């Protein structure tokens, strides 16, 4: 495998701000990279292939003296993120840190939902190591939209189908709207892929993209003598984004009211029942703790939700790794009881969550009161969902 590199540019100035490394096989030019990874996954070798592609991309960037003012985008298969490299006693990771090259890992949508807990944990670890996170192919599938705020990428990449306006559908409009709102809310960059003509470029700008990638700016090839970036490098990466916090910490910082357990449980039920009627599939997850525990009614409801939603999960003491068909259970069934429970529903077009913590302190023993809130703040809903998903078992 020999990597090639395609430039990513500012749409307003054509300054090259970085490159995406793409896998190619010069001795087998007919090999399709997507098909190669599919075959590797079938053979159980996808993690090995993924690591070697990233290694070769980094080594080539160093040898060819890639300008340190530019970003290096690398594709990564989400379901391989937690796999260790297939080599030992190697300085690659240390060399990456010492090189000064700012790496942005591009997550593809294809396997985000197979093991979302591992994806979130490894994304958080990657950020602690200084890597940026991009979510690729937004608009191609609904998976990316459902988990956009949960993963909280530093960069959003529009699929070429949006740039070319191949289809004008409700789903297309939803992808543009949700991604645009996310970008504005969190001040992240949008890259339009597949920019080949001036019409594509105008479309990209109208969609809210500030960066572009495509044949109009350069075909994939060797790293050439591209001029260094003029002026400061755009700040794309925020390593504090997408932090995973415990539910109790979230409950302590959001505005809450005091109410009875009956009121809180009724609102949780209402949120879950409303999710059964939503037409846009997404994510429904709940942490069952203390007073809110699994029951025949909740079990049946989540079994129905699993037939309609992309990701459905339950955590809580005593639950198995698959508490109902299609429902993900906790990684650790013997989790110690907590005093905070929550439910979060998030999809492309809607977001709502309930979080509640038992009040226990001087003057309030055994009152049954809870500090709780219901919120439609998409950022807070994503924080709650992230806190629950990170404890889910894989499919």
- CATH code of residue 96: 3.20.20.450
- What digits encode the pLDDT tens for the residues 68-80? 889 999 999 877 7
Long-range Cβ pairs for the range 113-116 (8 Å, 24+):
113/143, 113/147, 113/310, 113/311, 113/395, 114/78, 114/79, 114/394, 114/395, 115/78, 115/79, 115/394, 115/395, 116/147, 116/150, 116/311, 116/389, 116/392
Query: Can you give the pLDDT at residue 362?
Result: 44
Q: Are residues 104 and 179 in the same domain?
A: yes
365 has a pLDDT exceeding 50: no
Residue range 269-290: average pLDDT?
92
Question: pLDDT tens digit string along 112-161?
Answer: 788 899 889 989 989 998 899 999 988 877 777 888 999 999 999 999 99
Within-domain flag for 233: no
Report pLDDT for 225.
Answer: 64
Cα 221–chain centre separation = 29
From 213, 235, 270, give the residue that closes a domain.
Answer: 213
Query: In whole angstroms, what is the distance from residue 218 CA to residue 324 CA?
Result: 50
Residue 136, helix vs strand vs coil: strand
From 167, 198, 213, give the residue that closes a domain: 213
96 and 54 within one domain:
yes
What is the model's pLDDT at position 173? 87
Q: Write the CATH number for 344.
A: 3.30.870
Q: Is residue 156 part of a domain?
A: yes
- Sheet containing strand 340-347, edge to edge, reads 257-260, 369-375, 351-358, 340-347, 282-287, 311-315
pLDDT at 326: 95
Q: Which two tokens stand for residue 389?
A: 């998903």
Please say which residue of 196, 213, 230 terminates a domain: 213
Q: Are residues 272 and 137 in the same domain?
A: no
Half-sphere exposure of 77 (CA within 13 A, CB side): 22
Model confidence at 231: pLDDT above 80: no
If one compares 226 and 299, the residue with the highest pLDDT of the two is 299
Domain count along the chain = 2
Do 280 and 174 contact (CB within 8 A), yes or no? yes
* Structure confidence at residue 111 as a pLDDT band (50, 70, 90): low
On the CB side of 81, how many CA atoms lie within 13 Å of its CA? 28
Residue 107 to residue 279: CA distance in whole angstroms:
26
Residue 88 belongs to what domain range? Answer: 2-213
Please give the Cα distance from 99 to 304 (Å, whole number): 51
Nearest to 104 by CA among 42, 153, 32, 162: 153
In 3-state terms, the chain is what percent helix, strand and coil (to 5)?
Answer: 35, 25, 40
For residue 242, is it within any domain? Answer: no
Measured in degrees and rounded to the nearest 5, phi and psi for residue 58 equal -65, -45
């Amino acid at each position: 495998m020999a990597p090639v590199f395609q430039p990513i540019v500012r749409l307003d100035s054509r300054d090259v701000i970085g490159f995406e490394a793409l896998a190619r096989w010069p001795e087998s030019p007919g090999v399709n990279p997507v098909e190669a990874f599919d075959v590797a996954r079938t053979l159980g070798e996808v993690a090995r292939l993924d690591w070697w592609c990233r290694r070769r991309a980094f080594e080539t960037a160093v040898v060819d003296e890639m300008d340190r003012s530019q970003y290096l985008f690398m594709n990564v298969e989400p379901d391989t993120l937690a796999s260790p490299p297939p080599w030992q006693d190697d300085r690659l990771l240390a060399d990456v840190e010492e090189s000064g090259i700012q790496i942005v890992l591009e997550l593809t949508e294809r396997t985000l939902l197979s093991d979302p807990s591992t994806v979130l944990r490894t994304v958080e670890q990657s950020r602690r190591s200084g890597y940026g996170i991009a979510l690729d192919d937004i608009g191609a599938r609904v998976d990316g939209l459902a988990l956009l705020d949960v993963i909280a990428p530093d960069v959003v990449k529009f699929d070429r189908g949006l740039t070319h306006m191949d289809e004008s559908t409700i789903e297309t409009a939803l992808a543009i709207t949700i991604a645009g709102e996310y970008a504005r809310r969190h001040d992240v960059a949008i890259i339009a892929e597949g920019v080949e003509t001036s019409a594509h470029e105008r479309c990209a700008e109208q969609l809210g993209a500030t960066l572009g990638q495509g044949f109009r700016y350069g075909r994939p090839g060797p790293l050439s003598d591209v001029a260094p970036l003029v002026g400061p490098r755009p700040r794309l990466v925020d390593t504090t984004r997408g932090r995973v916090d415990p539910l109790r910490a979230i409950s302590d910082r959001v505005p809450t009211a005091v109410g009875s357990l009956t009121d809180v449980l009724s609102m949780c039920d209402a949120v879950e029942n409303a999710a059964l009627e939503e037409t846009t599939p997404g994510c429904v997850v709940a942490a069952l703790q203390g007073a809110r525990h699994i029951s025949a009614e909740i079990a049946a409801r989540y079994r129905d939700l699993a037939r309609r939603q992309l990701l459905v999960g339950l955590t809580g003491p005593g639950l198995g790794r698959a508490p109902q068909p299609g429902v993900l259970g906790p990684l650790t069934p013997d989790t110690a009881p907590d005093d905070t429970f929550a439910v979060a529903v998030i999809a492309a077009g809607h977001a709502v969550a309930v979080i509640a913590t038992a009040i226990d302190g001087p003057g309030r023993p055994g009152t049954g009161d809870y500090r709780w809130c219901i919120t439609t703040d998409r950022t807070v809903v994503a924080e709650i969902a992230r806190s629950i998903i990170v404890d889910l078992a894989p499919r």
